[in-house]
Structure 1
Amino acid sequence: MLTVHAIHLLHEAAFGTLATQSSVLAGYPYATVVPYVTDHAHQPVICISALAEHTKNLLADTRMSLSVLQPDATDVQAASRLTIVGDAERFEPATALRDRYLRYEPGAERLLALDFAFFRLKPLKVRFIAGVGRMGWVEQADLDAVPTLPAQEEADLVSRMSRLVPESVRVLGIDPLGVDVEINGRRHRHRLAGTAPIDEAIQAATHAITAITAARQ
């Protein structure tokens, strides 16, 4: 269950603290806050400037960690949080992933005309903490076993669901474990049971999200 909880937290959060190996002060970590979006395999993707210190660090040494805290947490010790330990890989995203990134981070579109580049953060291990005394390591093999949706299938489902939900809802992304939406400017993840066929799960999620939206108005 740690693996599933970690995946949900990665989708629920919009940013994390990225730590890299400093290229100015050898041996010292350099940490900064960055927005990220999970790809179709639940791996964080960041879009960062060539001028940024963390970009220079990653180009010199791919080792990194990304720490994520439960959104809106008021008690950090009791909140869910995780740290990914792994390597960053610079890459050029396919159209479907680029579109997915911009659904979550529409403000990034203007940056793509500048010197910004995409990096995928590839986990070796994830340390997940669910609260005081509840913690453990998630192995890479466990992360690789998490179900995913092909990019085109996700795009089709997002398009279909977007036509069914209220106008105040933006459908950001869909995966076998949950649906990410933005309701009146606030991100929300609707968790799926994972046992029902994806079409049935999406239909149930649509009804639930519509009800949540109505209750908030």
Structure 2
Amino acid sequence: MAEGTLATHSREPSGFPYPTALPFALTANHMPMLLVSHLAEHTRNLQADPRAGFLVAHPAEGGVLEGQRLTMLGHFAPASAQDSVPLARRYLRYHPEAGRYLELGDFSFWVMSLTRMRYIGGFGAMGWLAGPDLESLEPLSYDEELLLCEYSEKYPGRPANLKLLGIDRYGVDLLHEGRRNRFTFDKPKLSTEELRAALIDCFERQR
């Protein structure tokens, strides 16, 4: 998923929800990160009140109500200068066209910290997640993920039209013939060796 809907608290007119569509990527901790302009209305709203909602939806043939949706509630905060470097590198793998915005100097990264999530998997399949319900596995560091991405580029069995965008302990994000998709592992991978084996399995399944 590359795009979502950010809902902030409007400054003017006060008290109204202010939704806007934005591209996003996930941090190593699986938190939504946004690249936003300092001049944008939603950025100014977050500066005044960091509480926000963020919606991602998976399109379905039967219509939006048949698809999977996830509404996240929490707070957004600007990333530090130190954190922005690895965030930018990861974000640009998913959105390479965003490089021109970073060159302008007016854009910065904001990262969401989650309070609650509402998942809807289709009619009658829904529920809230919060706190202890969220997974607590140690995420991959930027360097660990980068090494795995480099490994995938050099692996001779990788299909030529397949690009690895990102990897975590639960699966990989792929770009295949211009389309993004997610390959989910059968179970979380706790070691580098397990992740490499899972990558090879993923590539073999895509052939």
Q: Could you state the TM-score of these two structures normalised by the residue count of structure 2?
A: 0.90
Secondary structure of residue in 2 paired with 1:128: strand
Q: Is the 8 A contact 1:192 1:205 kept in 2?
A: no
Q: Distance in 2 between matches of 1:129 and 1:198?
A: 33
The equivalent of 2:154 in structure 1 is 163
Q: 1:73 aligns with which of 42, 47, 60?
A: 60
| SS of structure 2 residue aligned to 1:77 | helix
Asked whether the equivalents of residues 170 and 188 of structure 2 are also in contact (C-alpha less than 8 Å), the reply is: no
Contact 2:152 2:199 in 1 (8 A): no
The alignment status of 1:106 with 2:99, answered yes or no, reads: no
Q: Is the 8 A contact 1:96 1:152 kept in 2?
A: no
Equivalent residue letter for 1:25 = P
For residue 32 of structure 1, report the CA deviation from its aligned partner.
Answer: 0.5
Picking from 114, 126, 132, the partner of 2:123 is 132
Which AA in structure 1 matches 2:164? V
| Cα distance change, pair 204–160 in 1 and its aligned pair in 2 (3 A) | same
| CA distance, structure 2, for counterparts of residue 178 and residue 76 of structure 1 | 25
- Encode CA deviations 1:88-122: one digit per residue, 9 max, x unaligned: 10113343322111101101111012211110011
Unmatched tracts of structure 2, length 5 or more: none
Aligned residues: 200
Pair 94,29 (structure 1): closer, same or farther in 2 beyond 3 Å: closer
Which of 162, 178, 188 is the matching residue for 2:181? 188
Partner of 1:4: none
Q: What code does the residue aligned with 2:44 have?
A: K
Tell me, in whole angstroms, the C-alpha distance in 2 between the residues paired with 1:45 and 1:195. Answer: 23
Identical-pair percentage: 37
Counterpart residue number, 1:10: none
Superposition TM-score, scaled by structure 1 size: 0.86
TM superposition shift of 1:64: 0.4
- Cα displacement (A) at 1:204: 3.5
